[in-house]
Structure 1
């Protein structure tokens, strides 16, 4: 059952704090279908480095038609994302603005299309794209429905921006943890080489770096192998049976 615009916006405010970015994107697409009369399939397009991609969708047809636009190099969702504007096709069978795309959409049963560019406060360009099949109850996406989609897009942009910011914070924290772990294992490997070869810390690091370059492998991987070798050797020595000489008491 459709939620309506107000309820969908309220739901948008609830989904950011406890869900990953991918889940937020999917929920935005689902809510748009429920908030906008006539929106049968919906997709979310984001531009990354100027290249468009569909990051979420409700209905496979929306994703397929997005990909058609990307392959052509133009279309309403791409143009809306680039311009931050709203583009609509009232009748795909009679559209002259995007004839190749509209012909494909018409063959797939899509009657009208509206793409709304996302507001861009964080320099994230994108669009929400609504596809209407032209059902009797909703023959097209009306001007009123377009206004609802534009209002929804404004709130969705905030939700997506917040979710993306949280995801970036989490990614930075993960990267920091990986960096700290890498540094720790490199220091351990340097200690192993210093003890094994009687070299100082700088020479031990040079040995690791040289092995990394010659093997075309990350320094962390080489360091892990050095440490793992020591662990295996120690474990093997600990589990080896005692020889008779080792097991004989001093008095015997």
Structure 2
């Protein structure tokens, strides 16, 4: 017969395997979304009622990239407004920062006072998420009861944050690749359209681009969309000025 601790370890193992499978770069051939990370994290940490993901870019104000509830977002905003709190400490000073009771912990007086006054949250912890460059983050967990989180909760949160780091880095890399593909396709369309106009209208490349831009501005269309029409029709669309409202 297996004891409870063995069952718990097996449950944790299954959860982490599922997390790795779900958020690996190969799963479903797509980048993971932040909402998916926090939803799974909230399910995996036994005593949390919500999870959130904080992102800090350089010296900019922190933002909540994703959260499972509006309550989590509200607690985060109180941290950002006060400039202090366990999630911010996890990002800047420690890999993991936990508070068992906001009413008794003296480390963040401004944040704790606001959180106690405006929310039911009394215990929480944040785990650093490594993103590279100037990007920094934390995976955050919240509970209304004092002393809600056990060492097991913290351990699961720490392991999930490591996998979330890899998943988010992969997502960022995938989006950069997708953006590059879009930029290259746009450049190809614009270059081809310029060539068509140069040949058909006997004008220079600079003049052809100016005409594309003029049509784009007058018709409120993107230059690449105007270029795509030139590629299809062989002619420059009419640059009709926007209608003036009467009265």
TM-score for the superposition, normalised by structure 2: 0.74
Asked whether the 8 Å contact 1:43–1:57 carries over to 2, the reply is yes
Say whether 1:117 aligns with 2:124: no
Say whether 1:129 aligns with 2:140: yes
Residue segments in structure 1 that go unaligned for 5+ positions in a row: 234-252
Say whether 1:150 aligns with 2:172: no
Say whether 1:166 aligns with 2:177: no
Task: Give the structure 2 partner of residue 49 of structure 1.
Answer: 58
Runs of 4+ deviating beyond 6 Å: 212-216
Change (3 A) 1:103 1:20: farther
Task: Give the structure 1 partner of residue 88 of structure 2.
Answer: 78
Asked whether the 8 Å contact 2:216–2:223 carries over to 1, the reply is no
Deviation at 1:185, TM superposition (A): 1.8
State the structure with more CA Rg.
Answer: 1
Residue segments in structure 2 that go unaligned for 5+ positions in a row: 1-7, 239-247
- Quick one: distance in 2 between partners of 1:211 and 1:232? 10
| RMSD, aligned CA | 3.3
Greater shift in the superposed pair: 68-77 or 106-115: 68-77
Greater shift in the superposed pair: 57-66 or 222-231: 222-231
Asked whether the 8 Å contact 2:189–2:224 carries over to 1, the reply is no
Asked whether the 8 Å contact 1:112–1:134 carries over to 2, the reply is yes
Deviation at 1:25, TM superposition (A): 1.4
2:19 to 12, 19, 24: 12
Greater shift in the superposed pair: 80-89 or 27-36: 80-89
